């Protein structure tokens, strides 16, 4: 491989700069909002740090919470590379979680490693099947995947509401919650972190990031997927079946989201199924991927950023009595700013000359990005 050229480095630098600017503007907005409600930003920063990374326990919580966000981001990246616009992650997380919970609750007497694997597999299967409905509607009926996936989110939430009140309901006074999952099904945590808050599933982040990059760049499935996403007509004319590829991509994406659902339930400190367990990660995961410019490795960092926003927000509330709505405002601001940054980047790209003009050597930074790994 050729060493990165000056142009590639400049592109990378520009990209990092944009992301830094997004972070700065967000911080500025946060400071302004805090000042407006009469809380000193420095004190708030202390509380935020204490709640997110200030202690091993809290850092563990933050990292563990980043995992589901990251998994959803991978799901988004897969469908994005395949050129499909699938936004059914909330539903797939919910159904994946329900499937994992249904299996987990039956795993009382199953030995721990097997039980953990079973729950994870059930989650992935649940998410993949739920996404499979979207894929089937698209492939056989031509229903736009964005529409069907959005609508299925609503259905999934109702399914969950029914499950926690009906078949899976298991709390003493009939609250909409399941019984606690058996000990053997819970995902183990690093014993060195006090409070056992750092689940081993954080290891999934680097493993799956590398795995996805390898699958996309080194397998014929990944190649077909990128080809279909790059130019669906050309793919068809070259003998690649874009429908088949799209269906597989959507199902894989659903499997990632379903695994996220299982991780939410079995890796956290709340080992039971409750109505709101999805907690918005289905859509936040998309923002995580967008902020990382659809790079699996970048998504590891942005997922941690989003998780710390979540955890830090709770900590700001409980330490400084900052209203809970502030964190939501902040997260919304980040998403909007990401979109603005993305729009700026797109405009810059379109002002540089497009293809057929005899474009002289414009080396590689871009090539790899286009080849599907992002940066």
Partner 1 sequence: MRIKLAAIPLAVTLPLSLAACSGSSADDASSDDAIQVGFLAPAPRNDGGFTQYALAGVEKAVEAGGMELTSIVDNAAESQEQIEGLQTLAANNDIVVADGAVLNKAVAVVAPKYPDTHFILVASDLEEYAENVSSVTVAVGLDALVAGAVASMRSESKKIGMIAGPEVPSSTAWYYGMKQGAAIENPQTEVFQAYTNDYNDVGKAKQAAEAMIANGADQLLSDLDSGSEGIYQAAGAAEGIEVYNVFALHCDENPNIVGSGVVSWSDVLESTVTEAAADELPAGAISFGLKSGALSFQFCEGKASEEEIALVEDITGRISDGSITPEEGVLLPRPSYDFEQR
Partner 2 sequence: MSTTTSGADPRAGTRSSALRLSGVTKRFGGFTANDAVDLEVGWGEVHALLGENGAGKTTLMRIVTGLYQPDEGTIAVDGEEVAFRRPEQALRAGIGMVHQHFTLVPTLTELENLAMGPSLLPLRDGRRTALERATSVESETGLRITPDRRVADASISERQRLEIVKLLCRGARILIFDEPSAALTPDEWEDLARLMRRLADDGHAVVLISHKMSEVFAVADRFTVLRGGAVAGSGAIAETTREDLVEQMVGESVEIRRERGPVQAGRPALAVRGLSVLRDADQPRGPRALDDVGLDLRGGEILGIAGVAGSGQAELVETLLGLRIPVAGEIEVAGRPYVDRSPSSFYAAGGSLVAEDRHHVGMFGSMTLWENINVRALRRPPLVRRNVIDPAAARHRARDLMAEFEVRATSENQAMGRLSGGNQQKAVLARELSTQPALVVAVQPVRGLDVRATEFVYRRLLDQRARGGAVLLISMDLDEVLSLSDRIVVLAHGRVQGVLDAADATRARIGALMTSREAS
Chain residues binding partner 1 by CB under 8 A are 1, 4, 12, 46-47, 49-51, 53-56, 58-61, 63, 65, 165, 171-177, 180, 193, 195, 198, 202, 205-206, 209-210, 213, 217, 264, 268-270, 272, 274, 276-277, 279, 295, 297, 300-301, 304, 310-311, 314-315, 317-321, 323-325, 368, 373-375
- Quick one: which of 262, 286, 300 has its CA closest to 186? 262
Binding to partner 2 by residue 165, rule CB under 8 A?
A: no
- Quick one: which of 60, 22, 84 has its CA closest to 292? 22
Nearest to partner 1 of 245, 308 (CB atom): 308
Please say whether the beta carbons of 181 and 105 come within 8 A.
yes
The residue from 40, 238, 269, 325 that contacts partner 2 (CB under 8 A) is: 238
Q: Residues 6 or more apart from 233 whose CB is under 8 A from it?
A: none
Please say whether the beta carbons of 176 and 274 come within 8 A.
yes
Nearest to partner 1 of 25, 180 (CB atom): 180
**Residue span binding partner 2 (CB under 8 A) among the ranges 20-28, 117-125, 224-232, 254-262:** 224-232
Name the token pair of 69: 């966000």
| Bridge partners (DSSP) listed for residue 177 | 274
Tally of CB atoms within 10 A around 112? 15
Please say whether the beta carbons of 4 and 304 come within 8 A.
no
Binding to partner 2 by residue 220, rule CB under 8 A?
A: yes
Instruction: Compute the least distance from the CB of residue 54 to partner 2, in Å.
Output: 43
**What are the C-alpha distances in Å from 147 to residues 84, 126, 137, 152, 161?**
12, 20, 10, 9, 22
**Residues found in the chain:** 375
The residue from 234, 336, 339, 343 that contacts partner 2 (CB under 8 A) is: 234
Binding to partner 2 by residue 237, rule CB under 8 A?
A: yes
Nearest to partner 1 of 140, 269 (CB atom): 269
Nearest to partner 1 of 175, 219 (CB atom): 175
Instruction: Compute the least distance from the CB of residue 314 to partner 2, in Å.
Output: 41
Instruction: Compute the least distance from the CB of residue 337 to partner 1, in Å.
Output: 22
Nearest to partner 1 of 247, 303 (CB atom): 303
Nearest-angstrom CA–CA distance, 251 and 149: 12
Nearest to partner 1 of 4, 188 (CB atom): 4
Please say whether the beta carbons of 101 and 62 come within 8 A.
no
Helices (H), ranges, 53-185: 56-81, 89-105, 112-141, 145-165
Name the token pair of 338: 């990401």
Instruction: Compute the least distance from the CB of residue 280 to partner 1, in Å.
Output: 8
Size, binding site for partner 2 by CB under 8 A: 35
The residue from 55, 169, 217, 317 that contacts partner 2 (CB under 8 A) is: 217
Nearest to partner 1 of 221, 301 (CB atom): 301
* Residue 15 CA, distance from chain mean position: 21
Which listed option, partner 2, partner 1, none, makes contact with residue 230 (CB within 5 to 8 Å by class)? partner 2
> What is the sign, positive or negative, of the torsion defined by CA atoms of 260, 278, 87, 105?
positive
Nearest to partner 2 of 194, 363 (CB atom): 363
Binding to partner 2 by residue 111, rule CB under 8 A?
A: no
Instruction: Compute the least distance from the CB of residue 28 to partner 1, in Å.
Output: 24
Q: Residues 6 or more apart from 206 whose CB is under 8 A from it?
A: 300
Chain residues that interact with partner 2, rule: CB under 8 A: 1-2, 217-221, 223-224, 226-227, 230-231, 233-240, 355-359, 361-364, 366-368, 370-371
């Amino acid at each position: 491989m050729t060493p990165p050229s000056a142009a590639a480095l400049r592109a990378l630098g520009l990209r990092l700069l944009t992301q830094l600017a997004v972070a700065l503007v967000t911080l500025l907005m946060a400071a302004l909002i805090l000042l407006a409600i009469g809380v000193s930003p420095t004190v708030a920063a202390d509380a935020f740090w204490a709640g997110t990374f200030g202690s091993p326990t809290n850092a563990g919580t933050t990292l563990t919470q980043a995992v589901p966000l990251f998994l959803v981001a991978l799901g988004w990246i897969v469908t994005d590379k395949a050129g499909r616009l699938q936004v059914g992650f909330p539903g797939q997380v919910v159904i994946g979680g329900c499937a994992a919970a249904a299996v987990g609750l039956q795993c009382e007497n199953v030995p721990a490693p097997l039980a953990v694997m079973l729950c994870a597999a059930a989650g992935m299967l649940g998410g993949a099947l739920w996404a499979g409905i979207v894929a089937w509607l698209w492939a056989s009926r031509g229903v736009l995947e964005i529409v069907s996936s959005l609508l299925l989110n609503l259905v999934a939430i109702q399914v969950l509401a029914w499950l926690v009140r009906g078949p899976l309901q298991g709390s003493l006074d009939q609250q909409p919650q399941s019984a606690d999952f058996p000990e053997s099904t819970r995902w183990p945590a690093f014993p060195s972190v006090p409070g056992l808050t750092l689940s081993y599933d954080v290891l999934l982040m680097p493993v799956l990031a590398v795995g996805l990059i390898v699958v996309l760049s080194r397998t014929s499935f990944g190649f077909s997927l990128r080809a279909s996403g790059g130019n669906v007509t050309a793919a068809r004319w070259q003998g690649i079946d874009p429908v088949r590829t799209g269906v597989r991509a959507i199902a894989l994406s659903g499997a990632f989201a379903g695994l996220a659902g299982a991780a939410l339930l079995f890796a956290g400190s709340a080992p039971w199924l409750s109505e709101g367990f999805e907690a918005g990660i289905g859509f936040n995961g998309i923002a995580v991927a967008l902020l990382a410019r659809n790079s699996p490795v970048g998504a590891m960092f942005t997922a941690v950023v989003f998780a710390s926003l979540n955890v830090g927000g709770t900590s700001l509330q409980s330490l400084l009595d900052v209203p809970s709505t502030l964190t939501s405002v902040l997260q919304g601001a980040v998403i909007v700013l990401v979109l603005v940054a993305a729009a700026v980047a797109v405009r810059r790209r379109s002002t540089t000359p497009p293809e057929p003009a005899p474009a002289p050597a414009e080396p590689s930074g871009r090539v790899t990005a286009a080849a599907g790994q992002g940066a």
